[in-house]
Amino acid sequence: MLKIGLTGGIGSGKTTIAKVFELLNVPVYYADAVSKRLYHTNKELMESMKKHFGEDIYTGDQINRQKLAAIVFNDAQKLQLLNKLVHPLTIKDAQQWMEQQTAPYVIKEAALLFESGSVAGLDYVIGISTPKHLRIKRVMDRDGVSREEVLARMNKQIDEGIKMRLCDFIIENNEQKLVIPQILELHKTLLSLTNK
Ligand code: ATP
Protein backbone atom coordinates (compact mmCIF):
# COMPACT_ATOMS: atom_id res chain seq x y z
CA MET A 1 0.00 0.00 0.00
CA LEU A 2 1.33 3.41 -0.94
CA LYS A 3 1.19 6.31 1.49
CA ILE A 4 0.55 9.61 -0.23
CA GLY A 5 0.69 13.10 1.25
CA LEU A 6 -1.62 15.87 0.05
CA THR A 7 -0.66 19.42 0.88
CA GLY A 8 -0.93 23.02 -0.21
CA GLY A 9 -1.22 26.48 1.25
CA ILE A 10 -4.21 27.79 3.15
CA GLY A 11 -7.29 27.78 0.92
CA SER A 12 -5.55 25.88 -1.88
CA GLY A 13 -8.35 23.30 -1.98
CA LYS A 14 -6.88 20.41 0.05
CA THR A 15 -10.15 19.35 1.68
CA THR A 16 -12.17 19.79 -1.52
CA ILE A 17 -9.71 17.68 -3.54
CA ALA A 18 -9.33 15.06 -0.78
CA LYS A 19 -13.11 14.56 -0.89
CA VAL A 20 -12.92 13.72 -4.59
CA PHE A 21 -10.29 11.07 -3.83
CA GLU A 22 -12.68 9.70 -1.20
CA LEU A 23 -15.33 9.36 -3.91
CA LEU A 24 -12.82 7.14 -5.73
CA ASN A 25 -12.70 4.93 -2.62
CA VAL A 26 -9.32 6.22 -1.50
CA PRO A 27 -9.15 6.42 2.32
CA VAL A 28 -8.17 9.92 3.47
CA TYR A 29 -6.68 10.94 6.81
CA TYR A 30 -7.41 14.59 7.64
CA ALA A 31 -4.45 15.52 9.86
CA ASP A 32 -5.65 19.04 10.66
CA ALA A 33 -9.07 17.82 11.76
CA VAL A 34 -7.53 15.04 13.87
CA SER A 35 -5.13 17.40 15.63
CA LYS A 36 -8.06 19.67 16.52
CA ARG A 37 -9.86 16.65 18.00
CA LEU A 38 -6.81 15.54 20.00
CA TYR A 39 -6.98 18.71 22.10
CA HIS A 40 -10.05 17.39 23.86
CA THR A 41 -9.62 13.62 23.55
CA ASN A 42 -5.99 13.05 24.49
CA LYS A 43 -5.61 13.34 28.27
CA GLU A 44 -1.81 13.58 28.13
CA LEU A 45 -2.01 16.47 25.66
CA MET A 46 -4.63 18.22 27.79
CA GLU A 47 -2.35 18.05 30.83
CA SER A 48 0.69 19.39 28.93
CA MET A 49 -1.39 22.16 27.39
CA LYS A 50 -2.57 23.32 30.82
CA LYS A 51 0.95 23.08 32.19
CA HIS A 52 2.49 25.20 29.43
CA PHE A 53 -0.36 27.56 28.49
CA GLY A 54 -2.27 27.89 31.77
CA GLU A 55 -5.29 26.10 33.26
CA ASP A 56 -7.68 28.55 31.64
CA ILE A 57 -6.66 27.44 28.14
CA TYR A 58 -9.54 24.97 28.65
CA THR A 59 -13.14 25.60 29.58
CA GLY A 60 -14.27 22.19 30.84
CA ASP A 61 -12.68 19.85 28.32
CA GLN A 62 -12.95 22.33 25.43
CA ILE A 63 -9.84 24.17 24.32
CA ASN A 64 -10.14 27.93 24.05
CA ARG A 65 -8.92 28.32 20.47
CA GLN A 66 -9.07 32.10 20.43
CA LYS A 67 -6.91 32.33 23.54
CA LEU A 68 -4.46 29.76 22.19
CA ALA A 69 -4.26 31.53 18.83
CA ALA A 70 -3.66 34.85 20.57
CA ILE A 71 -0.78 33.30 22.56
CA VAL A 72 1.01 31.53 19.71
CA PHE A 73 0.32 33.89 16.84
CA ASN A 74 2.96 36.41 17.76
CA ASP A 75 5.27 34.22 19.80
CA ALA A 76 7.42 31.90 17.70
CA GLN A 77 8.75 30.02 20.73
CA LYS A 78 5.28 29.27 22.06
CA LEU A 79 4.20 28.16 18.60
CA GLN A 80 7.20 25.85 18.41
CA LEU A 81 6.31 24.40 21.79
CA LEU A 82 2.70 23.84 20.72
CA ASN A 83 3.85 22.08 17.55
CA LYS A 84 6.20 19.89 19.58
CA LEU A 85 3.30 18.78 21.76
CA VAL A 86 0.78 18.15 18.99
CA HIS A 87 2.64 17.00 15.87
CA PRO A 88 4.18 13.78 17.26
CA LEU A 89 0.73 12.69 18.46
CA THR A 90 -0.83 13.32 15.04
CA ILE A 91 2.02 11.50 13.31
CA LYS A 92 1.53 8.48 15.58
CA ASP A 93 -2.24 8.55 15.14
CA ALA A 94 -1.83 8.70 11.34
CA GLN A 95 0.56 5.74 11.39
CA GLN A 96 -1.91 3.67 13.41
CA TRP A 97 -4.72 4.66 11.04
CA MET A 98 -2.65 3.72 7.97
CA GLU A 99 -1.84 0.30 9.39
CA GLN A 100 -5.56 -0.46 9.49
CA GLN A 101 -6.19 0.41 5.83
CA THR A 102 -6.25 -2.13 3.03
CA ALA A 103 -6.69 0.08 -0.07
CA PRO A 104 -4.03 0.20 -2.85
CA TYR A 105 -3.08 3.65 -1.61
CA VAL A 106 -4.12 6.07 1.13
CA ILE A 107 -3.88 9.84 1.44
CA LYS A 108 -2.80 11.97 4.36
CA GLU A 109 -4.05 15.52 3.96
CA ALA A 110 -2.13 18.13 5.96
CA ALA A 111 -1.43 21.84 5.62
CA LEU A 112 1.91 21.57 7.41
CA LEU A 113 3.10 18.29 5.94
CA PHE A 114 6.69 19.46 5.49
CA GLU A 115 6.86 21.88 8.41
CA SER A 116 5.61 19.29 10.94
CA GLY A 117 7.89 16.49 9.79
CA SER A 118 4.83 14.35 9.06
CA VAL A 119 6.12 13.84 5.52
CA ALA A 120 8.38 11.12 6.94
CA GLY A 121 7.18 7.66 5.98
CA LEU A 122 5.21 8.84 2.95
CA ASP A 123 5.99 7.47 -0.52
CA TYR A 124 4.88 10.46 -2.59
CA VAL A 125 3.46 13.91 -2.01
CA ILE A 126 0.81 15.68 -4.06
CA GLY A 127 0.91 19.47 -3.95
CA ILE A 128 -2.03 21.70 -4.76
CA SER A 129 -0.93 24.83 -6.54
CA THR A 130 -3.46 27.64 -6.43
CA PRO A 131 -2.82 31.30 -7.28
CA LYS A 132 -2.60 33.51 -4.22
CA HIS A 133 -5.43 35.84 -5.28
CA LEU A 134 -7.83 32.89 -5.59
CA ARG A 135 -6.79 31.45 -2.23
CA ILE A 136 -7.36 34.82 -0.56
CA LYS A 137 -10.78 35.27 -2.13
CA ARG A 138 -11.90 31.71 -1.40
CA VAL A 139 -10.86 31.82 2.27
CA MET A 140 -12.50 35.25 2.71
CA ASP A 141 -15.73 33.81 1.26
CA ARG A 142 -15.48 30.51 3.14
CA ASP A 143 -14.61 31.89 6.60
CA GLY A 144 -16.13 35.38 6.37
CA VAL A 145 -12.81 37.00 7.27
CA SER A 146 -10.93 40.02 5.97
CA ARG A 147 -8.17 40.05 3.39
CA GLU A 148 -5.70 41.11 6.12
CA GLU A 149 -6.70 38.17 8.30
CA VAL A 150 -6.08 35.72 5.44
CA LEU A 151 -2.74 37.33 4.60
CA ALA A 152 -1.65 37.13 8.24
CA ARG A 153 -2.45 33.39 8.29
CA MET A 154 -0.66 32.88 4.96
CA ASN A 155 2.47 34.60 6.18
CA LYS A 156 2.82 31.96 8.90
CA GLN A 157 3.27 29.19 6.32
CA ILE A 158 6.27 28.47 4.12
CA ASP A 159 6.12 29.96 0.65
CA GLU A 160 3.90 27.97 -1.70
CA GLY A 161 6.51 27.98 -4.46
CA ILE A 162 9.03 26.28 -2.18
CA LYS A 163 6.42 23.79 -0.99
CA MET A 164 5.48 22.82 -4.55
CA ARG A 165 9.11 22.13 -5.45
CA LEU A 166 9.17 19.50 -2.69
CA CYS A 167 6.16 17.66 -4.14
CA ASP A 168 6.19 14.71 -6.56
CA PHE A 169 2.87 15.54 -8.26
CA ILE A 170 1.07 18.84 -8.69
CA ILE A 171 -2.63 19.52 -9.08
CA GLU A 172 -3.27 22.97 -10.51
CA ASN A 173 -6.38 24.42 -8.92
CA ASN A 174 -6.87 27.58 -10.96
CA GLU A 175 -9.51 29.03 -13.24
CA GLN A 176 -7.87 27.78 -16.43
CA LYS A 177 -7.61 24.07 -15.65
CA LEU A 178 -10.31 21.61 -14.59
CA VAL A 179 -9.47 19.83 -11.36
CA ILE A 180 -11.45 16.59 -11.70
CA PRO A 181 -9.64 15.33 -14.85
CA GLN A 182 -6.29 15.98 -13.12
CA ILE A 183 -7.42 13.95 -10.10
CA LEU A 184 -8.60 11.06 -12.30
CA GLU A 185 -5.30 11.04 -14.18
CA LEU A 186 -3.33 11.07 -10.95
CA HIS A 187 -5.51 8.30 -9.50
CA LYS A 188 -4.62 6.15 -12.54
CA THR A 189 -0.91 6.94 -12.12
CA LEU A 190 -0.94 6.12 -8.40
CA LEU A 191 -2.78 2.85 -8.97
CA SER A 192 -0.19 1.88 -11.58
CA LEU A 193 2.61 2.73 -9.12
CA THR A 194 1.11 0.41 -6.51
CA ASN A 195 1.64 -2.52 -8.87
CA LYS A 196 5.35 -1.91 -9.28
P1 ATP B 1 -7.41 25.35 4.62
O2 ATP B 1 -5.94 25.30 4.44
O3 ATP B 1 -7.86 26.69 5.07
O4 ATP B 1 -7.96 24.22 5.45
P5 ATP B 1 -8.05 23.98 2.12
O6 ATP B 1 -6.75 23.94 1.41
O7 ATP B 1 -8.55 22.72 2.73
O8 ATP B 1 -8.08 25.18 3.14
P9 ATP B 1 -10.65 24.14 0.85
O10 ATP B 1 -11.41 24.42 2.09
O11 ATP B 1 -10.79 22.80 0.22
O12 ATP B 1 -9.10 24.51 1.04
O13 ATP B 1 -10.98 25.24 -0.27
C14 ATP B 1 -11.04 26.61 0.06
C15 ATP B 1 -12.35 27.19 -0.50
O16 ATP B 1 -12.24 27.25 -1.91
C17 ATP B 1 -13.56 26.32 -0.19
O18 ATP B 1 -14.67 27.14 0.08
C19 ATP B 1 -13.78 25.53 -1.49
O20 ATP B 1 -15.13 25.20 -1.69
C21 ATP B 1 -13.27 26.52 -2.55
N22 ATP B 1 -12.67 25.85 -3.71
C23 ATP B 1 -11.62 24.99 -3.70
N24 ATP B 1 -11.33 24.59 -4.95
C25 ATP B 1 -12.23 25.20 -5.77
C26 ATP B 1 -12.46 25.21 -7.19
N27 ATP B 1 -11.71 24.51 -8.04
N28 ATP B 1 -13.47 25.97 -7.67
C29 ATP B 1 -14.22 26.71 -6.82
N30 ATP B 1 -14.07 26.75 -5.49
C31 ATP B 1 -13.08 26.03 -4.95
ipTM: 0.97
pLDDT category, 110, cuts 50, 70, 90?
very high
Identify which has the larger pLDDT, 161 or 146: 146
Average pLDDT of the chain? 92
Q: Is 194 annotated as a binding residue?
A: no
Is there an atom of ligand 1 within 6 Å of 138 CB? yes
Centre of ligand 1 to C-alpha 7, Å, is 12
Nearest to 194 by CA among 101, 93, 113: 101
Higher pLDDT, 109 or 72: 109
> 0.95 exceeded by the pTM?
no
Whether 7 contacts 118, CB under 8 Å = no
Atom of ligand 1 lying closest to residue 109 CA: 7
Q: What is the pLDDT of residue 156?
A: 78
- Would you place residue 51 in the very low, low, confident or very high pLDDT band (cuts 50, 70, 90)? very high
pLDDT at 196 over 80: no
- Average pLDDT estimate for 141-146: 95
Percentage of the residues of the chain whose pLDDT score is greater than 70: 99
**Is the CB of 12 inside a 6 Å radius of any atom of ligand 1?**
yes
Could you report the per-residue pLDDT of 54-105, keeping only the tens digit for each? 999 999 889 998 899 889 888 889 999 999 999 889 999 999 999 999 999 9
Domain limits, the chain: 2-194
As assigned by CATH, the class of the 2-194 domain is: alpha beta
Task: Compute the average pLDDT of residues 41-58.
Answer: 92
Q: Is 71 in the pocket of ligand 1 (CB under 6 A)?
A: no
Q: Is the CB of 48 under 6 A from ligand 1?
A: no
CA of 19, closest atom in ligand 1: 11
* Average pLDDT value for residue range 7-29: 96
Query: Is residue 160 predicted with pLDDT exceeding 90?
Result: no
